[in-house]
Amino acid sequence: MNSISQAFETSKTRSQRIYRWVSAWLSLSAVIALLLLANSIRDYRFVSNLIAREQVRHKMSQHAAALEHQLRQIPIDSRSNSNPALDDSDHSLWIELRGPDGKVITRAGQAAQRPFSDEQERTQARDHEPLYAVVSTSAGDTVVEVFPLHVPFGPRPASTPPVPNVAEPNAPTPLMLEIAMPLSAADPSIFWPIRRNLFINCSGAMALLVTIVIAGMGFRSYARGKHLEEQLEIARQVQSELLPRLTEKFAGVQLATEYKPAEQVGGDFYDVFRLKNDGLALVMGDVSGKGMPAALLMGVIHGSVRSSAWAESATQHESESQKLNQLLCERASGERYASMFWCYHDPTTRSLHYVNAGHCPPLMARTRDGKIEVSRLHEGGPVLGVLPEAGFQQIKRDVSVGDILVLYSDGLVETTNNKSEEYGENRLRDLLVTITEKGAGDVRRAILSSLAAFSGATDPADDLTILVVKFLSPDS
């Protein structure tokens, strides 16, 4: 049992370690997916603002160029007395033309604020660098840019008559044109490529995040299932520890067993142990259902059989059967019951004392007067755990050297072939007639061989347990 305890602790530690690593990896993947989603949105906003800003600036520069061209068409002597018309129909919030002295010459719209000083404007114009800023207005983010217009403004001095076909001299200080236009004035069609990329990136990030969530939920189920599988394996080891090894030699009998649960743990059980009077106890039971619930109930019954003094007398045997029946009626659910055949062999009187509590009747094969007889040991009482007031009766059978007793669970006789036919008790009876001269191990192998030939490749639907006992002389 120490090895089982160590296996349990090792399995638990390994499962916890794997769960922590996978959980950390899934958490990191989720963080990466969220960062990818946030970065996609951030990049879209940055790039869209950049594109919108550049398009709006392009529109404003075209407007400034058009206004400069308009001013050049006005005769130079008339420019100081002529206020050019400012068109704000192209989504401009305001347009303001200022003279070299900083005074407003003309204006369209109402300027919300002036983001630049006169010194900044003159410095940027002198260095031929753009001067713009994005400010917040009632219309949202707005681009405000100042354009220098190199157009002479004011009357020409008398000493400098105009020269035909000669360009006008540059003004010493340019006019300043301030234009404000919201980012929303940008053409929406230019955003389609980056919106498409945003949709693809966000879809990928969301798909990754959903996949991680599903994987996390699935892994939790997998981890629970894996842990349960490991627990079932440990339960199988515990159950196998409860079954007799049959390494001990029992005088007067030859034993052979076969135990194949349909699942990792099962509801079938058997036991063989020596009694105080050198007798031999033989037990076989079958709990309804399969798997862990059946195995747990099997453990209860197995413990009760081992701990009670049921083999001391017929009365004790019958009373212990009633107590076990009442225990199962009180503690097990109505859907859980058990059948059990328990007996003990008295080598002194060469007799077999048994109670069959609703179990598959064991078959006793013996030779009498040159004929082989096969009888059923079916007397005793009903199954355990159904009728609280049920009574049980011990039956005594004489045994002789060479007699063969076969105990089995319903997994043997109810095995079906591909035609849905059951193996049945009659096939087992017919087989025993032909092998009574063989030893217990040979009988077990013959039964399994016959069962395999009958069922073919059909998977077993129930637990299979066989216990073969051949009675020998007491000195064997």
pLDDT tens per residue across span 134-168: 998 888 899 999 999 988 765 544 444 554 444 44
**Residue range(s) defining the domain that contains residue 254:** 243-471
Q: Are residues 223 and 352 in the same domain?
A: no
Percent of the chain with pLDDT over 70: 86
Question: What is the C-alpha separation between 236 and 285, in angstroms, rounded?
Answer: 17
User: Within this chain, do residues 228 and 252 fall inside the same structural domain, yes or no?
Assistant: no
Q: What is the pLDDT of residue 91?
A: 80
- The pLDDT assigned to 393 comes to 97
Q: Are residues 252 and 214 in the same domain?
A: no
Residue 170's pLDDT is what?
A: 46
pLDDT band for position 82 (50/70/90)? low
Among 76-90, 159-173, 230-244, 333-347, name the most confident range. 333-347
Strand partners, 396: 353
**pLDDT the model gives residue 316:** 95
Based on the domain organization, do 165 and 72 belong to the same domain? yes
Position 352 pLDDT exceeds 70: yes
Q: What's the mean pLDDT when you consider all of the chain?
A: 84
CA distances from 185 to 45, 48, 67, 70, 303 (A): 16, 13, 20, 24, 87
Q: E strand or H helix at 336, and its extent? A: none
> What digits encode the pLDDT tens for the residues 300-309?
888 889 888 8
Please compute the mean of the pLDDT values over residues 268-292 and round it to a whole number: 86
Specify whether the CB–CB gap between 105 and 97 falls below 8 A: yes
- pLDDT the model gives residue 397: 95
Q: Return the DSSP state at 438.
A: S
Q: Which residues contact 459 (CB under 8 A, 6 or more apart)?
A: none
In a domain, 305, yes or no: yes
From residue 105, how far is each of 101, 145, 419 by CA, in Å?
10, 17, 107
Do 276 and 404 lie in one domain? The reply is yes
Q: Which residues of 296-334 are buried (b: 16+ CB within 10 A; e: fewer)?
A: ebbbbbbeebeebebbeeeeebbebbbebbbebbeebee
Amino acid identity for residue 113 in this structure: Q
Say how many domains are in the chain. 2
Q: What does the CA dihedral 52, 58, 62, 68 come to, rounded to 10 degrees?
A: 120
Instruction: Quote the tokens at residue 291.
Output: 């798997």
Tell me, yes or no, whether 237 lies in a domain.
no
- Indicate yes or no: pTM above 0.75: no
Residue 116: closest CA among 193, 50, 177: 177
How far apart are the C-alpha atoms of 378 and 391, rounded to whole Å?
A: 15
Which structure tokens are listed for 240? 């196998």
Q: What is the CATH number of the domain that holds 401?
A: 3.60.40.10
- Strand intervals (E) in 392-463: 395-398, 404-408
pLDDT tens-digit readout, 43-76: 999 999 999 999 999 999 999 998 888 888 877 6
Asked if the structure places residue 339 within a domain, the reply is yes
